[in-house]
Amino acid sequence: MAEHHLVVAARAAIARAVPHRRVFGAAAGSVLTLVVLAQTWNVDDTWTGAVPSVEHRVGGCHAFRTNGERYALSDVSPTVPCDRTHQTETIAVREVTGPFAARGDRLSPEERLRFNNELCGDLDVRGYLGAGARDDYRFVGVVLRLPTEDEWRRGVRSYRCELTAEEEDPNNLPRADESFRDILTRPSGDRFRRCWTDAGVSVRCTEPHRSESVNATVPLPPGQYAGPANGLSTEQRAALDTAAAPLCEPLVSEFLGRAVGETPYLPVAHPTEDGRAVECGVGLPLDHPAATGSLARSAQGTER
C-alpha cells in the first residue's frame, strides 16, 4: 500500500512537470522527450551486495521486481546479464558538473524532471540502438539514476542514463530479454519499430500492419490538405498516396537500400494531426495480406 501511494505521488509530479508525455520517437525534427521517473524514497546503499554508483558501467543491465522501483532516484543493485529478464540498460555514465555539483543536496523530484534534458538529453540513442537514418523507433524511454543521498553527501557526482522498454499500460512492468545495443538490426527490435494498420493506426511492427515508417515527415504543397489522420476513406488514402509518392519515394528507396521500383513495396503517406504534412512509409502491395515484423532491410543493409 505504501508503494502504491509513492507511485501515485510520482505520477502526479510527472503530470505537473510534463503535461504532454510521449515515449521516444525518431520522426524527423522531433525533440527526444525523456521518460522521467520522479520519486522521493531513499535507496539504502549500505546493504550487502550494493554496488556503488561509481562502479556501474555502460552496457550493464538492471532488474527490479516491482514497478515502484522504476521511480527511485537511485539504483545501486548489482547488474544482471542482459540476456536475462531486466528493466533497464545503462547507456551513459557521467559526472554532474557546474553549480548543481556544488550543492549539498541532490535534485528534488521536480528538479529532476527539469534537469533530465540537461543531464541525458544529448544521448546518441539512435546509435546505441543501431538505427539508420530512416529507421523510426518508438516505445523506448530513458531513466536517470543519481547517486544515493549518502553518496551525494560524500561527494559522489556520478550519474547514469539508462534505456527502458516502454509499455502501453504504464502499470505494466517494462521488460527486456536482451541488450538494447544494436537491437534494431535484429528481428527482436521490431517491437520498437513504428508501423501502421490498414486504418492508419500506429502500432508496433510486431503487430499486424500494412506499412512501416521511414522516419520522415514532409510538408504538402501550399494549399493542399491531407485530411484527418485516421479518418480517410480507402479512396482518399489511395489519392493521398498518389499525390505524396514523389515526395516519399526517395526516402523509401533510402530505407530499402535500393530503388523502390525494384521491389514489391510501395511508398505510402500518413497524414499528420494537422493534415498539412505526411509521414512517409513503405507499404505492402494492395493484394498482399497484412504483415508482422519489419517490412524490409534497414538503411544499413541489415536483414531484419
Predicted pLDDT of residue 161: 95
Whole-number average pLDDT of the chain: 80
Per DSSP, what are the bridge partners of residue 281? Answer: 213, 268
Cβ distance 284 to 296 under 8 Å? no
Residue closest to 61 by CA, chosen among 46, 78, 38: 78
Per DSSP, what are the bridge partners of residue 283? Answer: 211, 266
Cβ distance 220 to 278 under 8 Å? yes
User: CA–CA separation, 229 vs 231, rounded Å?
Assistant: 6
Task: Give the model's confidence band at 39: pLDDT under 50 very low, under 70 low, under 90 confident, else very high.
Answer: very low
Task: Give the model's confidence band at 121: pLDDT under 50 very low, under 70 low, under 90 confident, else very high.
Answer: confident
Predicted pLDDT of residue 117: 76
C-alpha to C-alpha distances, 182 to 63, 137, 189, 211, 266, nearest whole angstrom? 20, 12, 9, 22, 27
User: CA–CA separation, 58 vs 125, rounded Å?
Assistant: 13
Least confident of 88-92, 165-169, 226-230: 226-230
Predicted pLDDT of residue 43: 54
Residue 255 sits at φ, ψ, to 5 deg, of: -60, -45
- Tally Cβ neighbours within 10 Å of residue 271: 24
> Position 287: which residue type?
D
pLDDT tens digits for 103-119? 888 877 677 777 777 88
Question: How is the chain split into domains, by residue range?
Answer: 2-186, 193-283
Scanning the structure block, which residue is given the C-alpha cell 530512416? 134
Predicted pLDDT of residue 45: 60
Strand order from edge to edge, sheet including 140-145: 61-62, 88-95, 158-165, 140-145
Phi-psi region of 182 (alpha: psi -120 to 50; beta: other; left: phi over 0): left
pLDDT tens digits for 250-268? 999 999 999 999 999 999 9
